[in-house]
Structure 1
């Protein structure tokens, strides 16, 4: 059986990056399946025309939860996507029997190496959480945004993991908003309670997993023998949080080390350009670019 299945969530503003995620998995893994939950009609329509032979497209309606669907009218689109996350994981787990792991990844993650080492090194864990491991320049963010990043999380197909998943679903249904309030933040701060509430919940210790702008200054990135290394270990995946596709000629970067542009951003942009071209051929009407009438605060803009 396939040991692990991936899943992600897209809105129309994440389609371009979501397809880079798909291609990075295709390049770096022997076999994979990616479930893509399309949160709006634009993302579903564009992806359905892309011949994604190793993906399964999902609509929120497929999850079979009417109360969940009502949240789209009560929350902003990004908040609704966060709310969907634990429900998508359960859906994939049920659809893919037998399966050992379901790994949720944010659509702005890109793989640079095969992730199979993660599962081999954590065989005794039912839930794997990704610590932010903030650098000093992000001091104070943990209190508001949380110890763990919910953009990369693994659930084993086991009873204990399903209990934790159900608890997370209930919390997100109760409250999941893009603000800090009474110790909560989106779907993310809830994760801090999981290790104390459930058995076999641990942090990912495999190096090179889910590095992002919140800690990339801690690493020296090096391209060697066709692979990118973070310090002395192969980079498994980088989280391009704060990367915004303004139009097909411009991107904006918010946060992170300015030293990684050549080694990480440029190859990512190369694949992104191919995605632009391929979508234009099959869905010329699609537009997934970020529109804004003022500069993003603290952003660095690059022509591409």
Structure 2
């Protein structure tokens, strides 16, 4: 029998556990009924998630999806590149674990729901497509980034059981062939492959017509906050025990502060809950500070650090 739940899948390691918990908190507010499948990139995060017993969360061990093809390319990829290579494989894993699931949505672990994602799913249903992808929707000042990173963002990608197999399978094969953190001959990571999907698969691929639903640092200046269904916190990092970098490399307008204030509250609550369990989350290994110092003048206004207990200002 088809499941009434929306099935989401993400992947992260122990360092990203607070992000995953913040995502889960947002699903509890805006995404029910749901099941959140987590591909655990290390045994520690799998153990912690079992200990936390978060409602609706299911774990999938990395070893359960690592076949011979993945293990063959794993030594050739950085940790981030291997995560990207894994992404197309997560759909089949969930469909296998949940035979009742009629569709699966891959969602990045640093994405946060700010309202119901129902309009996104409604658009897919109305179109009768097999896959839905989201446009970066770059603000004009960042439009040039699409040439390298792609028109589309993997962040929130919906695939139907059965009908999406050829599309996701094609993506998986391309990522096994090449998936690196650099631009090369029209390729970039797992993401720029999506630029070819409409050409290859036509109307089976639906591009979300409303980019205002999927906001992020690179497009938030174009839209009103109340239009968003999700916000992608790319660049959000805890760079010291009590310091957070909200964003890096973008000019984020004041009206987006409500997103960062709410997200930081969930992130902080996750850290506090983990502390009560005796779990210490390591500070992020993502440290762009050397690049920041090297290009300080160019980046003035594009990076913001706040204390972990920052509460923001202005209306919620």
> Do these two structures clear the TM 0.5 threshold for a shared fold by scoring above it?
yes
* Residue 182 of structure 2 is aligned to residue 187 of structure 1: no
Give the corresponding residue for 2:238. 245
Structure 1 residue 136, shift from structure 2 partner: 1.1
- Could you say if the C-alpha distance between residues 207 and 187 of structure 1 is closer, same or farther in structure 2, counting changes exceeding 3 Å? closer
CA 1:207 to 1:192, structure 2 compared with 1: closer, same or farther past 3 Å? closer
Tell me, in whole angstroms, the C-alpha distance in 1 between the residues paired with 2:104 and 2:175.
19
Match of 1:105 among 100, 104, 107: 107
Return the structure number with greater helix share: 2
Evaluate the alpha carbon distance shift between residue 296 and residue 277 of structure 1 in structure 2; reply closer, same or farther with a 3 A threshold: farther
TM-score, normalised with respect to structure 2: 0.86
Q: How far is 1:283 from its partner?
A: 3.8
Q: 1:150 matched to which residue of 2? A: 154
Q: Which residue of 2 aligns with 1:118?
A: 120
Partner of 2:137: 133
Deviation at 1:64, TM superposition (A): 5.0
Q: Distance in 1 between matches of 2:8 and 2:194?
A: 19
Cα 1:93/1:257, change in 2 over 3 Å: same
Give, in whole Å, the separation in 2 of the partners of 1:4 and 1:273.
Answer: 26
| Structure 1 residue 3 displacement after superposition | 4.8
Compare 38-47 and 82-91 and name the one that shifted more.
38-47
Give the length in aligned residue pairs: 292
Inter-partner Cα distance in structure 2 for 1:291 and 1:178: 14
> 1:115, CA displacement in angstroms?
1.2
The 3-state SS of whatever aligns with 1:61 is: helix
Which of 297, 301, 304 is 2:305 aligned to?
A: 301
Deviation at 1:288, TM superposition (A): 4.9
- Provide the C-alpha distance between the structure 2 equivalents of 1:256 and 1:283, rounded to a whole number of angstroms: 37
Shift of 1:66: 2.3
Equivalence map 1:183-262=2 (5 Å): 183-199=186-202, 200-206=204-210, 208-221=212-225, 229-230=226-227, 235-252=228-245, 253-254=247-248, 255-260=250-255, 262=257
Question: Offset of 1:189 from its aligned partner?
Answer: 0.6
Q: Which residue of 1 aligns with 2:311?
A: none
**Does the 8 A contact of 2:124 with 2:131 survive in 1?**
no
1:271 aligned partner: 266
Question: Which residue does 1:58 correspond to in 2?
Answer: 60
Long gaps (5+) in structure 2: 293-298, 309-316
Deviation at 1:268, TM superposition (A): 0.9
Deviation at 1:57, TM superposition (A): 1.1
Q: CA deviation at 1:265?
A: 0.6
Q: How does 1:16-35 map to 2 (within 5 A)?
A: 16-35=18-37
Q: TM-score, normalised by structure 1?
A: 0.90
